[in-house]
Amino acid sequence: MREDIYKLVQAAYDKKEKLDPESQRLLEKTRKDYISCGLGISAGPKRDRFKEIQKRLANISTEFSKTLNEEDGGIWATEEELEGVPKDVIQGLAKGSGEHEGKLKLSFKYPDLVPTQKFATNPETRKRLMIDNENKCNSNAALFKEAIVLRDEAARLLGYKNWAEFRLEDKMAKTIKTVTDFLNDLRTQLTPGGKEEIKHLKEIKRKWMADNGKKAEDDDYYLWDHRFYDRLMIEQEYTIDENKIAEYFPITKTIQGMMNIFEKLFGLKFEELNAETRDKLSSNGNGRDLIWHDDVKMFSVWDDEREGGEFVGYLYLDLHPRPGKYGHAANFGIQPGFVTDDGSRRYPCTALICNFSKPTPDKPALLKHDEVVTFFHELGHGIHDLVARVTYARFHGTSVVRDFVEAPSQMLENWTWEPKQLKSLSSHYETGESMPDELLNSLVKTKNVNGALFNLRQLHFGLFDVTIHSPTDHQEAEKRDYGALYNELRSEICCLTGPEKLGGGLNWGNGQATFGHLMGGYDAGYYGYLSSQVYSTDMYHSVFAKDPMNEAQGRRYRRLILEKGGSQDEMQTLEGFLGRKPNAEAFYKDLGIKKNQ
């Protein structure tokens, strides 16, 4: 908001002096930052109003995130109502007293929520959990609407038609039309497959209901049905037992196996620091330990000898839930890398934040396979953050445009579906044996089971995001019912029936009030998860599919993708690695979808 510095930046920009490409990019993006902060608006009432909006949006984002992170709700249920839920989950639930005597508290945290949705045989329990989870942060609904309305006003003050136009200008997509064309094409390609998947899942539901003496009220496939029957289908048709598979992924051994893969592929070494060394590094000068919690592990990361043996940076792993902690899985950069004035390098520090189940008295912490995939994904962000080699902190690591940032880590998810790599990762928590080939091969076959429905879910998020951020006029932004729109689009796009079918309309839940991404930087950019998936699938199948542990290609990927960070246009980075423009052929082929014309 310093106008004097803005004028200096503008003057430097107007000189048109020849700079190295990264410095030119820094100048252009810094200039855009000042304009985005309202300094392109003439001093007066309009600029003052813009400043007010910016302050309010910052406060909204903080309050919204705080509510999400501190949410401590749940549902109370009897053991009978939780029939089918894994014993490990039941053992970890709080016991009720008073009005909740004889009941257990099922929280909305992932280690409770997801297994219950997958395994609870009582549909009413799943329904209640799903609806209450959608309403767990209803105080955020008003904040969400206020933020969307204020963003729209801010964009118009800056001279844009809406917030999406403003935000997309600097992305790979550039325009709203590019995004909507991309998402609508995906919808055209994915919807027929989604409907076929629903048809098959309905058959499984009908049979299960009949076999278990339960009478179906109708023939619909509800939102609270999907995780349960998706899991049941995989168990029945692929002989997969998620809990059995988890026995082969004790968290400590899995971490080591994962790091072994990244060490070989990218030329790295991970060294876990003991408590004494860790505490010295974490001291703030007063001898007070800055490590967040006893659960946290800390690693120093180095290049291997072939890469020169130099220090790379520090990595924290914070893997289990606790009160007040961020509730999902993410990677957070603590300190970026950059080149200092004297030419030396400042090293990065990055943290992996996850919410995997804790150990029990009987077992170590065990990861279900989808959690192994999540772990690989987030550690992929961490590697991106660690190995970047840029001049300016502004472009370090994952500081790339939102419609590319997921691609490098999404690509690394493929290693969790490769038989050889899965075998090397697996180690039974009791026997130490690798996963048997029969079980492993069955697991690999499930990679894209119900893949159309999975991607339609992401499509719902992306279309909701771009729709709410591109109203035709400001009045539309003010009048819109965002909760009803969220629920309506979900039913239409995901092919799943919502509670509105049972009466009461579309205002049964406020899923948008729990949509932290749209308050945390993905606004008008959530489509990036899908565009990045297209890019990542293209990279993997073009370069790695035939030989996933090819060290030469792994190090080439490190040089051309990871080390570049955001120091150059991301499309240039991607095309430099692929040797051509990216396309969606591998994405559709991987899903087994024949593209409709």
Q: What is the pLDDT of residues 234-261, one digit of tens each?
A: 999 998 888 999 999 999 999 999 999 9
Per-residue confidence band for 379, with pLDDT thresholds at 50, 70 and 90: very high
335: region left, alpha or beta (phi > 0 left; psi from -120 to 50 alpha): beta
The predicted-structure confidence for 120-141, as pLDDT tens digits, reads as follows: 999 999 999 999 999 999 999 9
| φ and ψ of 93, to 5 deg | -85, 145
**Would the pLDDT of 291 be above 80?**
no
**Would the pLDDT of 283 be above 60?**
no
How far is 70 from 41, CA to CA, in rounded Å? 38
How far is 9 from 27, CA to CA, in rounded Å? 7
Q: Provide the pLDDT for residue 281.
A: 65
Would you state the structure tokens that stand for residue 552, as one six-digit string?
Answer: 């030469």
Q: In a 3-state reduction of DSSP, which class is residue 315?
A: strand
Query: Within the chain, what is the greatest distance between any pair of CA atoms?
Result: 79
**Would the pLDDT of 360 be above 90?**
no
Per-residue confidence band for 216, with pLDDT thresholds at 50, 70 and 90: confident
Which of 378, 406, 413, 570 is catalytic? The answer is 378
How far is 572 from 561, CA to CA, in rounded Å? 10
**Would the pLDDT of 10 be above 70?**
yes
Which neighbouring-strand residues pair with 497? 222
Task: Look over the chain and give the mean of its residue pLDDT values, rounded to a whole number.
Answer: 94
Q: To 10 degrees, what angle do helices 437-445 and 226-238 make?
A: 130
The alpha carbon of 454 is separated from its chain's Cα centroid by a whole number of angstroms, namely 14
Would you state the structure tokens that stand for residue 515, as one six-digit string?
Answer: 């949509």
**Would the pLDDT of 284 be above 70?**
no
Query: Which whole-number Å values give the CA distances from 347 to 259, 300, 352, 387, 556, in the listed order?
Result: 20, 11, 17, 10, 22
The predicted-structure confidence for 486-520, as pLDDT tens digits, reads as follows: 999 999 999 999 999 988 899 999 999 999 999 98
Per-residue confidence band for 198, with pLDDT thresholds at 50, 70 and 90: very high
Per-residue confidence band for 288, with pLDDT thresholds at 50, 70 and 90: very low
Comparing 280-284, 303-307, 415-419, the range with the smallest average pLDDT is: 280-284
Per-residue confidence band for 336, with pLDDT thresholds at 50, 70 and 90: very high
Q: Provide the pLDDT for residue 286.
A: 45
Q: Provide the pLDDT for residue 594.
A: 76
Indicate the residue type of 500: E
The alpha carbon of 272 is separated from its chain's Cα centroid by a whole number of angstroms, namely 26
| φ and ψ of 24, to 5 deg | -65, -40
Indicate the residue type of 448: N
Handedness of CA 415, 419, 424, 429 (dihedral sign): positive
| φ and ψ of 238, to 5 deg | -125, 10
**Would the pLDDT of 214 be above 90?**
no
**CA proximity to 485, closest of 467, 501, 498, 459:** 467
Contact yes or no for 510/145 (Cβ under 8 A): no
Q: Which long-range contacts (CB under 8 A, 24 or more apart) does 417-423 make?
A: 417/444, 417/447, 418/444, 418/548, 419/444, 420/548, 420/549, 421/261, 421/548, 421/549
Residues 6+ away with beta carbon under 8 Å from 217: none
Query: Which whole-number Å values give the CA distances from 578 to 267, 293, 539, 544, 546, in the listed order?
Result: 21, 42, 7, 11, 15
**CA proximity to 478, closest of 79, 149, 3:** 149
Q: Provide the pLDDT for residue 99.
A: 94
**Would the pLDDT of 484 be above 80?**
yes
Contact yes or no for 402/171 (Cβ under 8 A): yes
Domains belonging to the chain, first-starting first, are 73-137 (no CATH), 249-400+408-449 (3.40.390.10)
Query: Would you call 570 a catalytic residue per the annotation?
Result: no
Alpha helices per DSSP H over 173-288 = 176-211, 226-238, 242-246, 251-266, 275-282
Residues 6+ away with beta carbon under 8 Å from 550: 544
Would you state the structure tokens that stand for residue 589, as one six-digit string?
Answer: 């082929």
DSSP state at residue 558 = I
| φ and ψ of 237, to 5 deg | -95, -15
Would you state the structure tokens that stand for residue 273, as one six-digit string?
Answer: 């620091």
The predicted-structure confidence for 156-183, as pLDDT tens digits, reads as follows: 999 999 999 999 999 999 999 999 999 9
The predicted-structure confidence for 461-470, as pLDDT tens digits, reads as follows: 999 999 999 9
How far is 251 from 410, CA to CA, in rounded Å? 21
Percent of the chain with pLDDT over 70: 97
Q: Provide the pLDDT for residue 1.
A: 82
**Would the pLDDT of 431 be above 90?**
yes
How far is 60 from 92, CA to CA, in rounded Å? 34
Residue found under tokens 């801010």: 154
The predicted-structure confidence for 540-555, as pLDDT tens digits, reads as follows: 999 999 999 999 999 9
How far is 423 from 245, CA to CA, in rounded Å? 12
The alpha carbon of 196 is separated from its chain's Cα centroid by a whole number of angstroms, namely 27
Residue found under tokens 């501190």: 70
Q: Provide the pLDDT for residue 282.
A: 60
**CA proximity to 242, closest of 233, 254, 252:** 233
pLDDT winner (highest mean) among 197-201, 289-293, 320-324: 197-201
Average pLDDT over residues 318-327: 89
How far is 477 from 63, CA to CA, in rounded Å? 21
pTM: 0.85
Average pLDDT over residues 441-453: 94
Interior angle at CA 357, CA 99 and CA 241, nearest 5: 105
**Would the pLDDT of 88 be above 60?**
yes
